[in-house]
Amino acid sequence: MAVGTLDLFAGFGPPAQAKFLLLGSTDFRCEDLMDRTRSLNLEHVSPTLVPRVGISRRPAGAVADEASVLARMRQWYFARKPDAGFVLRDFPATLLQAKVFDEWLETRAESLRAVFAGPGAPGAVVEHYRELGLLFEAGARTVA
């Protein structure tokens, strides 16, 4: 048996419909994935890129910040075409956000292709996706 590299675009339908999460900072292990996703025109999304609605003059607490992020990401998620792929960075950042995002995926009968965790990724979120079998572990190989 030969050992080959993992092909995330094999066996899951059209590559342009692939859905990925990038948690934590992007490191050298994700460079090949990023290059390949750019060539497929997958939408690259982050909570920092989704516009905020309204302007608040008072500082928001952690609960209000999380609710704001969830509201913006929900609006983006349900406004996109269901068959459009994406690369989502920096979201979900908390276990609550991960579970809410899972519900959104289930509601639209969609699934993630893989989750990549870089340095600084939230431990609880990484473990959540590891338990779901979606976490791509660095150095993983497939048997061809």
Domains of the chain: 3-50+61-143 (3.40.50)
| Regions of the chain with pLDDT less than 70 | 1-16, 26-60, 137-144
Return the pLDDT at 9: 46
Return the pLDDT at 141: 42
Return the pLDDT at 51: 53
Return the pLDDT at 65: 83
Return the pLDDT at 91: 92
d(CA 122, CA 100): 16
d(CA 91, CA 48): 10
Return the pLDDT at 1: 41
Return the pLDDT at 122: 92
Question: With b meaning 16 or more CB within 10 Å and e meaning fewer, what string describes 87-119?
Answer: bbbbbbbbeebbeebbeeeeeeeeebbbbbbbe
- Indicate if the alpha-carbon torsion angle 126, 128, 69, 50 is positive or negative: positive
